[in-house]
Chains A and B, each alone.
Chain A
C-alpha cells in the first residue's frame, strides 16, 4: 500500500505516492529522476547519497520516504544557481581536480556545503572530520580537502 508525501527538493514541491518502507534516495532517483545523489551501498556506509534535509546532512538511503514528508531537501543539483553559476564548492572541486570518477562527488560536495553552512572557517582537521563518512576510492582525499579549504576562502572573500 502506498501513502502520499509532499517534499520540497531544490525549491520545487513534489507530491509523491511512496511505499512506507521505501527510502528517500529511491524516491529522489527513481520517482523524481533527481539522480545527483548516488547509491554506493544503500546502507549508510559510503556517503554517496548525502543530501541536506532541513539544513542538516543526511544519508538519503537511511531516511524512510515518509520521514521526508514536509521536508526541504537540497541535492547537488540544488547548489547551482538559476543563472548557471556554480557554488564555490563546485567550482573548487573542478579546479582542484577533487573529482575523478565523480561517483562520490555529489555526496562529498553536499557534505562540504553542510559543513561550510555551520562553520565557514574550518581548519583542515575539521574538514577531514566532517568528510570522514564520505568514501572516495580515486583521490586519496588531498585534492578534496584542498578544494573545500579553497571554497571556504572564496566564500569568506565574498562576505
Chain B
C-alpha cells in the first residue's frame, strides 16, 4: 500500500470534467455541429475488393440539383502518405485501383444528406476486377496478387529477433509445449462513428473539427496528404464519442477537407455505422505458432513465437502492432531465452489498426492460454506457474526494459483471495461451472511511436482572478484524462480543484502533444502537466514573495492561498497575486510552459533493445462462468480484477476504466467477430455484430494494488489498455476449465462450445 502523503486532490473521486455538459445534453460532438453555409458530404466506396478503375464519370452527379462538388483523386495532390513512415501506402481517394470493399473512390458535397446520397448513385465508375487475396498467409505465397507495387511479396513488415540462447533453453526444458492460436478481427464499436467538419479559410488554411486521439501527429500526415503546411491546419478536437484506438488517421477527414476546399464552404461528413464497420480501423488479427519449454516447477526456459498478422490493404499502424505482439509479453513474465519471427501481410481487406491492447492484448490471450495448458501438463495450479515466472519490481528484462514498480504477484494473490471468498451458489442442472485466471502487463507511455520526440508538455495559465487553465496536447476521449490532469494540476499548484479548468484541444493554442495511445496519458501527460505547473508556480511564488517581502522558496500554497511557511497567516490568494502580476505586466498572464521527457535513448530499431516505457503496469483477472450445455451459452457469473496502476489519482474513474475494459474483453472472448467473406464485412451493424449489453455483464469486483511509481506523477501509472488485456483469456480459461476442452481461437461462441461438447461426450461414451 502506497503511503498517503497528505494529498489534497490526488486519490479523490471528483466528478469527471465534462460530465455536466454530457449529462445535460450540452456537450457538442462533431455530428452535433452545424455552421452557416454548411454542406453535407458522403463517400462513394468501392464494391470490389481489388479492381482497376477504368473510368470515373461524375457528370451526372454534378448535374443533380443541390450538389456542390464531386471530388476524386484528381482533386488531391496525388501523393503517397500514411500514418507510418515505413509504409506510406495511402491516397485520399483510390488512385488507378481499389484495394478493399469500402475503399474511398469519390465524395460528394451537397446541400443536404439526402441529395448527397442520391448523387452517389449517379457517379459512374467502370471497374475491371483484379484477382484478390484475403487470407494473411495466402498473401505471402508466391504468385499471390500484388496489392501494393512497392511490396511485391505482400509483406508489409517483418521482425526477427531474440535474446538469450533459445536452443540451450529448449535443451534444459522438462516439458516442451507447442500450440497454435488465433485472435480474430474485431471492431472497436465506439458510439460516435468517424466524422469530420472542415471549414475552408483564406488561402490554403483549413479549420478541422475531428474526433481524433492524436491531433498533432495527424496534422503532419494530413498536411502532407493535402500539400499544405501543418500550421495551415487548425485542428480542434471537441467532445469525442469514444475511440479505443480506432480514432487515428482516417481518410474521411481528408475527403471532407478536399470537399471543403473545392466548394469553398464548410462540409460535414459522418460515416454511417455500416461504413464505419467496412472502413474503420479494426483490430489486427494474428495467427500464432508457439513453442515453449518449461522446467518441472513451471519455470519457462525458452519461448519461440511465429506470428502472422493481417494488415489489410494499406497501413494504419499494423507494423508497430505486430512488433508489439512479438515481445511486449516479455515484461509480463521472466522469459530468459526468447526468439520471434513476425510477419504482417497485405490482403484485400479493410485496413487494420490500433484497438485497446495494441498487439499485446492478442499476445496476452496466447500466453495466458499457454500458461494454463502448460500448468495442466505439469500438474501445477494456474497461479503456481504464473507466480514462478512473474515479473518482479526493479527488473531489467532481456530487451533492456527497466521495470520499476510491479504489483503482479500481489494482483494474482488478490483475485485468488477474492474468488475464494465468493458466496457459494448452487449450479443449476444442465449447467457447468468453471473458473479461470489471466495476468496482464502493459506499457504506460510506449516510446518511439513518433520517432522525432517522446514526452509531453503543458501550458498552465493563472489569470487575474486566480483561476487556472490547463492547456495540453493529449486527448480526452471519455476516459477521464482531463479530470486527471486537473487533479494533478491542482495538487502541484496547491490550488482549489474547482478553480482549475482544462482547455479544449485546439492546435491554435494547445502544446504539441502526442495524444492518447500506449496508455501514456496519466504517466507521460501527467508529468507534462506537473512540469508546466512548476514553471507557473515559480512565477506565482516570485510575485507573491515580492508582494510579501519574503523569499519565494519560503512560500507554500494550499487551496489557492500562498502562505509563508514560517508564519502561515502571512498569505495572499492566487487571485490577489494573479491580478497584481497581470496589471503590473501590462496584461501578461502568469504562464508556465514546461515539458517532460524520458532521458533514455530510443530502443534500437534492429534488435528492439532498449527501455521502451517510463513505467509498466500489471494486473490479474479471474472469471467464473456458467455454461448451458444445451445451448452452449456462456454466462459470466463472477468477475474479479486486480490492477497495479501505481497510486490511483481518481479511484472511481479508475474503476470505470477497468469495468469498461472487462465489458469490451467479454464481448471479444465470447461472440464479437467481424465475419469477412471474400473481403466483405457481412455483419456490419450492431444487430449482427453484437456488443455486450447490461444483461450480459456480471457485477465486477475491482481491486487496486497500489504502488508508488517513481517515474509517474504522484506515483501514478496508466490503466486504459491493461484493462482489456487479460479479459478474453481469463474468460476462455474459465470455459476450458468448465468443459475440460482447450479453445485456442477467439471467440468461443456457443456453436464452438456445442461442437466441443459433442466431441467430449463421444470420448466419455468410448
Closest beta carbon of chain B to A33's beta carbon, Å = 7
With the chains together, A47 CA to B751 CA distance in Å?
Answer: 28
Q: Are B694 and A100 in contact (CB under 8 A)?
A: no
Q: Are B699 and A40 in contact (CB under 8 A)?
A: no
Closest beta carbon of chain B to A32's beta carbon, Å = 11
Nearest A-chain residue to B480, judged by Cβ: A100
List the 3 closest A-B pairs by CB distance, nearest first: A101-B478, A36-B25, A102-B22
Give residues 99-123 of B contacting A (CB, 8 Å). Answer: 114
Q: Are A29 and B15 in contact (CB under 8 A)?
A: no
| Residues in B whose Cβ lies below 8 Å from that of A29 | 32
Of B237-245, B462-470, B617-625, the stretch lying at the interface with chain A is: B237-245
Interface of B is mostly: loop
Closest beta carbon of chain A to B754's beta carbon, Å = 25
Q: Are A138 and B686 in contact (CB under 8 A)?
A: no
Of B340-348, B411-419, B434-442, B653-661, the stretch lying at the interface with chain A is: B653-661
Residue in contact with A139 in the complex, picked from B24, B189, B240, B663, CB distance below 8 Å: B663
Q: Are B693 and A101 in contact (CB under 8 A)?
A: no
Q: Are B656 and A97 in contact (CB under 8 A)?
A: yes
Q: Are A137 and B653 in contact (CB under 8 A)?
A: no
Closest beta carbon of chain A to B587's beta carbon, Å = 33
Residue in contact with B25 in the complex, picked from A45, A76, A95, A144, CB distance below 8 Å: A76
Q: Are B697 and A102 in contact (CB under 8 A)?
A: no
Give residues 82-130 of A contacting B (CB, 8 Å). Answer: 86, 90-91, 93-97, 99-106, 109, 127-129
With the chains together, A106 CA to B29 CA distance in Å?
Answer: 13
Q: Are A97 and B477 in contact (CB under 8 A)?
A: no
Residue in contact with B23 in the complex, picked from A41, A93, A132, A138, CB distance below 8 Å: A93
Residue in contact with B191 in the complex, picked from A36, A109, A135, A142, CB distance below 8 Å: A135
Q: Are A142 and B659 in contact (CB under 8 A)?
A: yes
Q: Are A138 and B24 in contact (CB under 8 A)?
A: no
Interface residues of B (CB under 8 A from A): 13, 15-16, 18-25, 27-29, 31-32, 34, 114, 188-193, 239-242, 244, 272-273, 477-480, 652-653, 655-656, 659-664, 685-687, 691-695, 697, 699-700
Nearest B-chain residue to A48, judged by Cβ: B191
Q: Is A42 an interface residue (CB 8 A)?
A: yes
**Would you mind naming 14 contact pairs between A and B with Cβ atoms under 8 Å apart?**
A38-B241, A43-B685, A99-B16, A99-B22, A100-B660, A101-B239, A105-B23, A109-B23, A135-B189, A139-B660, A140-B659, A140-B692, A142-B659, A143-B655
Nearest A-chain residue to B667, judged by Cβ: A137
Q: Are A86 and B656 in contact (CB under 8 A)?
A: no
- A101-B239, A142-B699 provided; 7 other pairs, C-beta below 8 A? A97-B15, A99-B22, A100-B480, A102-B23, A102-B27, A132-B695, A140-B661
Q: Is A72 an interface residue (CB 8 A)?
A: no
Q: Are A45 and B685 in contact (CB under 8 A)?
A: yes
Q: Are B694 and A101 in contact (CB under 8 A)?
A: no
Number of interchain pairs (Cβ within 8 Å): 174
Q: Are B31 and A38 in contact (CB under 8 A)?
A: yes
Q: Is A75 an interface residue (CB 8 A)?
A: yes
Q: Are B23 and A101 in contact (CB under 8 A)?
A: no
| Residues in B whose Cβ lies below 8 Å from that of A93 | 19, 23
With the chains together, A140 CA to B699 CA distance in Å?
Answer: 9
Q: Is A68 an interface residue (CB 8 A)?
A: no
Q: Which of A128, A141, A145 has the most CB of B within 10 A?
A: A141
Residue in contact with B242 in the complex, picked from A39, A101, A109, A131, CB distance below 8 Å: A101
Closest beta carbon of chain A to B514's beta carbon, Å = 20
Q: Is A80 an interface residue (CB 8 A)?
A: yes
Q: Say whether, besides A40-B273, A142-B659, A103 and B697 are in contact (CB < 8 Å).
A: no
With the chains together, A103 CA to B21 CA distance in Å?
Answer: 11
Q: Say whether, besides A97-B656, A105-B23, A135-B191, A41 and B685 are in contact (CB < 8 Å).
A: yes
With the chains together, A75 CA to B25 CA distance in Å?
Answer: 9
Residue in contact with A135 in the complex, picked from B15, B31, B240, B693, CB distance below 8 Å: B693
Q: Is A46 an interface residue (CB 8 A)?
A: yes
Q: Are B32 and A99 in contact (CB under 8 A)?
A: no
Residue in contact with A41 in the complex, picked from B15, B25, B273, B477, CB distance below 8 Å: B273
Residue in contact with B663 in the complex, picked from A41, A77, A141, A145, CB distance below 8 Å: A141
Q: Are A42 and B15 in contact (CB under 8 A)?
A: no
Q: Are B656 and A80 in contact (CB under 8 A)?
A: no
Residue in contact with A143 in the complex, picked from B192, B656, B662, CB distance below 8 Å: B656
With the chains together, A71 CA to B692 CA distance in Å?
Answer: 33
| Residues in A whose Cβ lies below 8 Å from that of B16 | 94, 97, 99-100
| Residues in B whose Cβ lies below 8 Å from that of A129 | 694-695
Q: Is A159 an interface residue (CB 8 A)?
A: no
Nearest B-chain residue to A110, judged by Cβ: B25
| Residues in A whose Cβ lies below 8 Å from that of B22 | 99, 102, 105
Q: Is A35 an interface residue (CB 8 A)?
A: yes
With the chains together, A69 CA to B244 CA distance in Å?
Answer: 39
With the chains together, A64 CA to B15 CA distance in Å?
Answer: 37
Nearest B-chain residue to A84, judged by Cβ: B24
| Residues in B whose Cβ lies below 8 Å from that of A75 | 25
Residue in contact with B28 in the complex, picked from A35, A41, A46, A86, CB distance below 8 Å: A35
